[in-house]
Structure 1
């Protein structure tokens, strides 16, 4: 049974549409304080709610969780005693930790990223079909009244499917807010007239996909919705590819690795972020994997400062 504190934290992050990692202990070898089935949640800052082992294990869980959250790929973390080292296997990373008491632990790290939010303005049959099929594709679908709707940063797409009701205000607000995909379901003639009537700059008008969707030849609400969602998938994939090319040209590797530091006592790699143990020494921050390393450093800082 999952600890209520962990379940509440997971629910809180889901409601806030924040990404997190669900860390589950799948195997242990004594001596270890964790047990198979123990679960924790690691948020985007590296803060851990729940228990998956002592502070030495937490240091590795924190580091690998943030990397998994960046990549979006799950990974099996295998923490073993021994000299500092790391071996990457297919789907798994084996980390050696000199601070362990002799046991070992395997933790499955599963990143949970909020689904892209797609807003559909309208309640006609095609709008209902969009909501149904989009949910099957894994999108967070929302049906709204176009007159009353106001976008926020969570919106990935706005599809106007009101057949003349509340389309203009929804389209204008989506364009002004920079919603990545803006589509209008209409005929060629009506779509052009609606776009021409929008109270926005010509540059923004050109961003409206109308008639929205890839022409598959179907005429039923479900077939039209399928074409619109196919276009949305295509546009989003193209935008990701363009961004990756820009990042590569600028010398930025994707995904970006979390900032790390080396524990000066045991030489473990740790995340250089607020949840990690640290002290200020001679004007710089020193990071540690566990309280024992921090205590040893504070007793003899000159020995480890280098």
Structure 2
């Protein structure tokens, strides 16, 4: 099977699974190198090659580290791999970054040089909504326009809007990038809030008054749930824009979710040496 076709098929598989990865492309080579311009590889978030070819062990370490960084911070990386003496002649050192180019050392006897562009491919951000209240429906509608993967738990709803995932279990497997909104508004509030706080979601919000949330908080603590888990919840949900209607409340929540999604990320601190 042609290499390009294999890469495309593997990329489609990873995207369908919601897995983050990076695409590394050789853009320039000098002297003897096993990889040539145009060669590509898919690299996992752990830095391991999934499919493709970007050269032997001399390149894989530096490219793997750059791929991990690209996935972590969501930004492309550019690696220039050169023999140590060439770096020194040019006034650079392994691990140094100048004008967006990260320099790395090629210790192979071939003494070749390569420039590699690494682009992250991140899964759609995930939004989990509990409930089929008017706010829940408005939020799901708005989130679809922001390219969120929408998961809904509303077992009693008969006509939920078209979303990517209809959940049959309140318990969710959530990552720190997942956003969760409990918008049950009187129908299964405690059960939904319990499931939300027991997840590892990075953002959890509750649609309701502070008084109502305080009552639910006390009830969950009485069940043995650690207060620290519950205190992660933003209640009431959303930014304070003096929202009144369901659509306005959903907009305030969506704005808060976007702020969470776009928050500055700390530098990786990894060196591509």
| TM-score for both structures, normalised by structure 1 | 0.63
Runs of 4+ in 1 over 6 A off after TM superposition: 235-238
Aligned residue in 1 for 2:172: 151
Aligned residue in 2 for 1:94: 103
The 8 Å contact of residues 56 and 100 in structure 1, kept in 2 or not, is answered as no
> 1:128/1:25 Cα in 2 relative to 1: closer, same or farther (>3 Å)?
farther
Give 1:117's match in structure 2, choosing from 107, 121, 126.
Answer: 126
> 1:208/1:29 Cα in 2 relative to 1: closer, same or farther (>3 Å)?
closer
> 1:201/1:103 Cα in 2 relative to 1: closer, same or farther (>3 Å)?
closer
The 8 Å contact of residues 146 and 165 in structure 1, kept in 2 or not, is answered as no
Aligned mates of 2:65, 2:231 — CA distance in 1: 43
Aligned mates of 1:223, 1:3 — CA distance in 2: 47
Aligned mates of 2:196, 2:60 — CA distance in 1: 42
5+ residue gaps, structure 1? 245-253, 261-268, 270-306
Displacement of 1:90 in angstroms is 1.4
Aligned residue in 2 for 1:134: 143
1:24 aligns to 2:49 (yes or no): no
Cα-to-partner distance string for 1:251-274 (whole Å, 9 max, x where unaligned): xxx52537x9xxxxxxxx5xxxxx
Aligned mates of 1:154, 1:3 — CA distance in 2: 31
Displacement of 1:41 in angstroms is 1.0
The 8 Å contact of residues 69 and 270 in structure 2, kept in 1 or not, is answered as yes
| TM-score for both structures, normalised by structure 2 | 0.69
Aligned mates of 2:250, 2:52 — CA distance in 1: 42
The number of residues matched between the two structures is: 248
Displacement of 1:209 in angstroms is 3.2
Displacement of 1:183 in angstroms is 2.1
Aligned mates of 1:222, 1:165 — CA distance in 2: 20
1:170 aligns to 2:192 (yes or no): yes
Larger radius of gyration: 1
Ranked by relative contact order (alpha carbons within 8 Å, sequence separation 6 or more), the top structure is 2
